[in-house]
Chains A and B, each alone.
Chain A
Amino acid sequence: MAPPEAVPQQEQEQKQVPEQVRQSAPAAVLEARSVSKRFPGVMALDDVSFSLRAGETHALVGENGAGKSTLIKVLTGVHRPDGGELRLGGQPVRFARPFEAQQAGISTIHQEVNLVPLMSVARNIFLGREPKNRIGLIDFARMHGEATELLDGFGIRVDPRKPLHTLGIGTQQMVALARAVSVDAQVVIMDEPTSSLEPREVETLFRIIGNLRCQGIAVLYVSHRMDELYRICDRVTVLRDGRHIHTGDLAGLGRVRLVSMMLGRDLSEARRTGLTRFDGDGRGDGHGDGRGDGHGEERDEGNDVAGTPERTPALTATRLNRRHQLHDISLSLYGGEVLGLGGLLGSGRSETAKVLAGALSLDSGELTVGGRTLRRMGSAGAIRAGISLLPEDRKAEGIVPGLSVRENIVLAAMPRLSRFGVVSRRKQDRVVDIFMRRLRIKASSPEQPVGELSGGNQQKVLLARWLCLEPKVLLLDEPTRGIDVGAKAEVQSLIDDLAREGLAVLLISSDIEELIEGADRVVVLRGGSVAGELEGDAVTESRLLEALADHSPAPTGKAPAGQEDPR
């Protein structure tokens, strides 16, 4: 460990400099100035500026679509910015390829392990810069020795000759880390490094980050785990919708405040209701209103058509577990109600939906649909059981852009609309006509390719696809993301209508307002487990924010890893 006086000295100096001055302070190792990046139809980064200082651990946070990945890709040479510039050590730089960024001392650990599984551990670590002997051939003995030494420093004992794929995913991640650190990096970018690590490995990672800090290496740390950020990061940069929202010290920045910046919610209400009203168990016992305690004896006075809890739930999930992603998630979904599923990115909300729809397998847990317990069902089984999932990424997982509106709608219903394998065009047209009118899909004709429609109409086409299967349970993952305001309202009222007609709807949204207005109940996930459930009047912005942000009373940051807090 480092002599304690060296780093604190540096730290204190940082803290004395006003923020405005620091933004352009020469100590910035890596700096992005007004960087913009446009993709077809999306402004992924809009005039984003931020800087990384030597020896700091800098958190980069933001929800889905905030532009974190794009920013990382710009910094590492995967994408070239459309506007603005990068500065490395004060000098403007342009990276045409990832290789150039690495040459310049920026190394990256990607979220998924980006190594070569068939090659040995040592070869992976040293690919492209193998130690050579006198006549220019690779010196394997030295390579294995150095790899062993390097990994020993990380507290990992593996045979460096072993193929990488024989190791656990956490160990693989550590090998990636070893590779990133063993080049002479000035900047190490870590994109969700802990998402596949065991707690013990996380501790090792933090120790390594502490070491990097001592060597004056800047770390850009992307994570959704608040605890981790507050433990090891000095400063934080918040992005939202491709824009820079905030950069500042993490210590002294409350968690609720941070979350509200990520989500774009006003802080005033959160402040007013504050931490005092949120008393730990996430149930809101302090509320004296009719539906606050969730036991339901006063349900019959309910102001909605939501199913009464005495009815059997359309879907019950009991103690769902999935390694690293879901821990003991239990929830019930009733016909005629919209259940909101809240949570920050990485909280397990999409994974939960995918598990319910059979698209992800479970390690343990039980799913009951319409009174029947399902063990392994898979996507086809889920559809048969009446569960439909509208996926989060409609481009990648739903829409077939080259096919027409009609073809996209009837895709999943094909077996029902055909006899002896021959598709009845007449039946198709009838179904398509009904849904196009009902969902008010705006297209020139049913034959128009879906790729030409607006985002909102694409979403409606997808919705129609699942609705013509006549599902009992509809899982909607971010149904209004990326669609314009008018279409958003339409989709939202459509969701209400569907619930009123008796469908059980699970609504996942990072838009707090959408959850509050659209959902009868809200289950909040955090770190893969249920953090709380809000019902009726308890569904308020402040309580949601608190549940999202973690209500444990730790508004200020703890000491960074790798040293004791000197103050």
Chain B
Amino acid sequence: MNETTPVAVAQVPPPRKRPAVRGDGAPHRGAGHRPAPARRLLELLRSQGVLAVLLAVVTTASFVYPTFATLDNARGVTVQASFLAVVALGMTLVIITGGIDLSVGSVFALGGVLAAWASQWGVLPALLAPLLVCGAIGLLNGFLIARAAMAPFIVTLATLLAARGLLLAVTDEGATTYLVPKGSAFAGLGQGSVWGFGHPVLIALVLFGAGGLLLQRTSSGQTLFAVGGSSDAATLMGLPVARTKLLVYTLSGLLAGLAGALNAARLSSGVTIVGVGMELDAISAVVIGGTLLAGGAGSISGTLWGVLLLAVIQNLINQIGSLNSSYQSVVSGGFLIVVVVAQRCLARGRRAG
């Protein structure tokens, strides 16, 4: 018996050529399967609709407010946006897996304080201290969510409080403000610029590039989508579900900590009152960027446009001047609702199609 089987297999050529998983041949092209133009437009709108809105707002504003479309203003807006962008990058990964990370605002603030405190010993400690601590908080989040199967909302709400408490302990209830030494390399990280664009902007762009590659072009990235789309299916497919969750929450903690450190470098001090409610801004940006809050679909680039859109709106309100800046939140809230409704309509259209 044990001979027959191989023999039978050897004699019978496989009726269908099984494609090799690795090969050096020319890439196959799926011929004749182009999506219909309407569908492609719809698809583009869903993932990049925010880009269209952003361009429309920027174009309109450039005509209406002469001070808006200046290089200086662009530099200011992008630097302002870069910290939220880095936080939202981590949030995007978390939300794509179907989770949520509420702790990022506190972690951001904690990262800033730790960086400012450690900056007295040089640039390396100033980066390592926040990354280590904030990464550990992210890891704790991930561990409780992935291994102990606790709800992300509760776990990260707890670490939100805990990180804020830790921050108060480090700063003697906020009484001590650590200053970054003037002219140090660490301060340069936040304040320096290339062609007028601040280092934080460039760092954010590099991180977004890396994040995009991770999400779209690696197996781990695909696993993120699978976990968010159907956790059960991902488990049955043998994908490392728990490890993936651990990874995204850790990344989210690391990125929030890094953003906090950059912010501290820019402000030259560990300000304790930053980051309150930042998690909600980050979530808004992610959702405006087209990522499904339920998980399973989304993009890094959308988040980038979402962050920029929020920043531009804030900037415009400042430009208008007469409009109370309190209304900024109202306007971004309105945008959030419009985008979510539009998303749902598009999703329904896709299902029908």
- Could you tell me if B5 and A54 are in contact, using CB atoms closer than 8 angstroms? yes
Q: Does B348 contact A (CB under 8 A)?
A: no
Q: Does A129 contact B (CB under 8 A)?
A: yes
Q: Which of B1, B35, B236 contacts A13 (CB 8 A)?
A: B1
Q: Does A102 contact B (CB under 8 A)?
A: yes
Q: Which of A110, A118, A127, A131 contacts B297 (CB 8 A)?
A: A118
Q: Which of B63-71, B227-235, B261-269 forms contacts with chain A?
A: B227-235
- Could you tell me if B8 and A114 are in contact, using CB atoms closer than 8 angstroms? no
Known: A116-B233, A148-B33, A159-B30. A27 touches B222 (CB 8 A): no
Note all chain A residues with C-beta closer than 8 A to B28.
141-142, 144-146, 148-149
Q: Which of A142, A153, A162 contacts B27 (CB 8 A)?
A: A142
Q: Which of B1, B11, B216, B226 contacts A26 (CB 8 A)?
A: B1
Measured between alpha carbons, how far is A227 from B8 in the docked complex, in Å? 28
Note all chain A residues with C-beta closer than 8 A to B330.
none
Interface string of B228-254 (1 = CB under 8 A from A): 011011111111100000000000000
- Could you tell me if B225 and A114 are in contact, using CB atoms closer than 8 angstroms? no
Interface string of B142-154 (1 = CB under 8 A from A): 0000000000000
Whole-angstrom distance between the Cβ of A103 and the nearest chain B Cβ:
7
| B6, B35, B233 — most chain A CB neighbours (10 Å) | B233
- Could you tell me if B4 and A9 are in contact, using CB atoms closer than 8 angstroms? yes
Whole-angstrom distance between the Cβ of A490 and the nearest chain B Cβ:
39
Q: Does B37 contact A (CB under 8 A)?
A: no
- Could you tell me if B35 and A161 are in contact, using CB atoms closer than 8 angstroms? yes
- Could you tell me if B236 and A114 are in contact, using CB atoms closer than 8 angstroms? yes
Whole-angstrom distance between the Cβ of A142 and the nearest chain B Cβ:
5
Whole-angstrom distance between the Cβ of A91 and the nearest chain B Cβ:
14
Chain A residue at smallest Cβ distance from B4: A10
- Could you tell me if A166 and B351 are in contact, using CB atoms closer than 8 angstroms? yes
- Could you tell me if B239 and A117 are in contact, using CB atoms closer than 8 angstroms? no
Known: A114-B236, A115-B230, A159-B33. A149 touches B12 (CB 8 A): no
Measured as residues with beta carbon below 8 angstroms from the partner, the interface class of chain A is 35 or more
Note all chain B residues with C-beta closer than 8 A to A101.
238
- Could you tell me if B8 and A6 are in contact, using CB atoms closer than 8 angstroms? yes
Whole-angstrom distance between the Cβ of A79 and the nearest chain B Cβ:
13
- Could you tell me if B1 and A17 are in contact, using CB atoms closer than 8 angstroms? yes
Measured between alpha carbons, how far is A148 from B2 in the docked complex, in Å? 35
Chain B residue at smallest Cβ distance from A145: B28
Q: Which of B5, B34, B239, B296 contacts A99 (CB 8 A)?
A: B239
Q: Which of A211-219, A305-313, A395-403 forms contacts with chain B?
A: A211-219
Q: Does A123 contact B (CB under 8 A)?
A: yes
Known: A7-B12, A214-B15. A145 touches B30 (CB 8 A): yes
Measured between alpha carbons, how far is A139 from B33 in the docked complex, in Å? 18
Q: Which of B16-24, B188-196, B321-329 forms contacts with chain A?
A: B16-24
Interface string of A516-540 (1 = CB under 8 A from B): 0000000000000000000000000
Whole-angstrom distance between the Cβ of B205 and the nearest chain A Cβ:
19
Measured between alpha carbons, how far is A6 from B8 in the docked complex, in Å? 6
- Could you tell me if A27 and B8 are in contact, using CB atoms closer than 8 angstroms? no
Measured between alpha carbons, how far is A215 from B18 in the docked complex, in Å? 11
Note all chain A residues with C-beta closer than 8 A to B296.
116-119
Measured between alpha carbons, how far is A117 from B11 in the docked complex, in Å? 39
Whole-angstrom distance between the Cβ of A309 and the nearest chain B Cβ:
47
Note all chain A residues with C-beta closer than 8 A to B219.
128-130, 138
Q: Does B60 contact A (CB under 8 A)?
A: no
Whole-angstrom distance between the Cβ of A371 and the nearest chain B Cβ:
39
- Could you tell me if A114 and B233 are in contact, using CB atoms closer than 8 angstroms? yes
Measured between alpha carbons, how far is A160 from B35 in the docked complex, in Å? 10
Q: Does A182 contact B (CB under 8 A)?
A: yes
Note all chain B residues with C-beta closer than 8 A to A110.
236
- Could you tell me if B236 and A211 are in contact, using CB atoms closer than 8 angstroms? no
Note all chain A residues with C-beta closer than 8 A to B9.
55, 214-216
Note all chain A residues with C-beta closer than 8 A to B30.
144-145, 147-148, 159-161
- Could you tell me if A116 and B234 are in contact, using CB atoms closer than 8 angstroms? yes
Q: Does A265 contact B (CB under 8 A)?
A: no
Measured between alpha carbons, how far is A103 from B213 in the docked complex, in Å? 27
Chain B residue at smallest Cβ distance from A217: B9
- Could you tell me if A150 and B235 are in contact, using CB atoms closer than 8 angstroms? no
Note all chain A residues with C-beta closer than 8 A to B35.
159, 161-162
Q: Does A237 contact B (CB under 8 A)?
A: no
Number of B residues, CB within 8 Å of A: 52
- Could you tell me if A145 and B238 are in contact, using CB atoms closer than 8 angstroms? no
Note all chain B residues with C-beta closer than 8 A to A53.
1
Q: Does A416 contact B (CB under 8 A)?
A: no
Note all chain B residues with C-beta closer than 8 A to A159.
30, 33-35
Measured between alpha carbons, how far is A119 from B234 in the docked complex, in Å? 12
Known: A148-B30, A166-B351. A2 touches B12 (CB 8 A): yes
Measured between alpha carbons, how far is A165 from B235 in the docked complex, in Å? 19
Measured between alpha carbons, how far is A103 from B14 in the docked complex, in Å? 22
- Could you tell me if B22 and A131 are in contact, using CB atoms closer than 8 angstroms? yes
Whole-angstrom distance between the Cβ of B255 and the nearest chain A Cβ:
21
Q: Does A1 contact B (CB under 8 A)?
A: yes
Note all chain A residues with C-beta closer than 8 A to B292.
118
Q: Does A290 contact B (CB under 8 A)?
A: no
Residues 293-319 of B contacting A (Cβ, < 8 Å): 296-297
Measured between alpha carbons, how far is A99 from B237 in the docked complex, in Å? 7
Note all chain B residues with C-beta closer than 8 A to A119.
222, 225-226, 229, 296
- Could you tell me if A116 and B15 are in contact, using CB atoms closer than 8 angstroms? no
Whole-angstrom distance between the Cβ of A121 and the nearest chain B Cβ:
10
Chain A residue at smallest Cβ distance from B226: A116
| B19, B31, B351 — most chain A CB neighbours (10 Å) | B19
- Could you tell me if A165 and B19 are in contact, using CB atoms closer than 8 angstroms? no
Q: Does A98 contact B (CB under 8 A)?
A: yes
Q: Does A136 contact B (CB under 8 A)?
A: yes
Measured between alpha carbons, how far is A161 from B5 in the docked complex, in Å? 37
Known: A137-B218, A146-B28. A55 touches B18 (CB 8 A): no
Interface string of A1-22 (1 = CB under 8 A from B): 1110011011001100100000
- Could you tell me if A211 and B237 are in contact, using CB atoms closer than 8 angstroms? no
Note all chain A residues with C-beta closer than 8 A to B34.
159
Residues 520-567 of A contacting B (Cβ, < 8 Å): none
- Could you tell me if A27 and B2 are in contact, using CB atoms closer than 8 angstroms? yes
Whole-angstrom distance between the Cβ of A240 and the nearest chain B Cβ:
27
Known: A102-B238, A141-B29. A118 touches B12 (CB 8 A): no
Interface residues of B (CB under 8 A from A): 1-2, 4-9, 11-12, 14-19, 21-22, 27-31, 33-35, 213, 216-219, 222-223, 225-226, 229-230, 232-240, 292, 296-297, 350-351, 353
Question: Can you name 12 extra interface pairs (CB under 8 A) apart from A145-B28, A166-B350, A215-B14?
Answer: A10-B5, A13-B1, A13-B4, A25-B1, A97-B238, A128-B237, A137-B218, A141-B28, A148-B31, A162-B35, A214-B9, A216-B9
The 10 A-B residue pairs with the shortest CB-CB distance, nearest first, are A145-B28, A99-B238, A116-B229, A27-B1, A159-B33, A137-B217, A153-B16, A141-B27, A216-B9, A54-B5
26 interchain pairs, CB-CB under 8 A: A78-B236, A98-B235, A98-B237, A110-B236, A116-B225, A116-B230, A117-B230, A118-B225, A118-B229, A128-B222, A129-B21, A137-B213, A141-B27, A148-B28, A149-B19, A149-B28, A158-B33, A160-B33, A161-B30, A161-B33, A162-B35, A166-B350, A179-B237, A211-B14, A211-B15, A216-B6
